[in-house]
Amino acid sequence: MDEFESLSHSKWECKYHVVFIPKYRRKVLYGELRKHLGEIFRKLAEQRESRVEEGHLMPDHVHMMLSIPPKYAVSQVVGYMKGKSAIHLARVYGEKKKGFTGQHFWARGYFVSTVGRDEETIREYIRNQEKEDHRLEQLNRWR
């Protein structure tokens, strides 16, 4: 965790908590898609010299902790991952699913926050996100 990555003239540790959603927040990430998206995101991150440190696919959104070298903008890497994953999903699953919007799978925006020294807290948050959402749903039923 405290080891730094290096480029030719710099040492770095740039980690980001990223969240993004499918268009219209459709709950389509379960089933077949969920099984493959994690591996797709990992491969796409590697193509930008980045790494998925932690990740969790919720029914209607994605949480990831990404390690991105300072030579890339966060928007470049996230945009690349969203775009290429949408194209892949359209090719593999597009003909099978009715109403599948293909290359317009992800909504335009995303949330990003730097991780800093709270890395373990963020990792724990990502791991337990599904449990927390379920707990909040249960609380809201009593209101």
Which residues carry out catalysis?
Answer: 125
How many Å is the maximal CA-CA distance in the chain? 57
Which residues contact residue 117 at a Cβ distance below 8 angstroms, ignoring those fewer than 6 apart? Answer: none
Round to the nearest angstrom and report the end-to-end CA distance of the chain. Answer: 42
- For 29, 31, 60, 66, 85, the CA distances from 102, given in Å and listed in that order, are 14, 17, 16, 24, 10
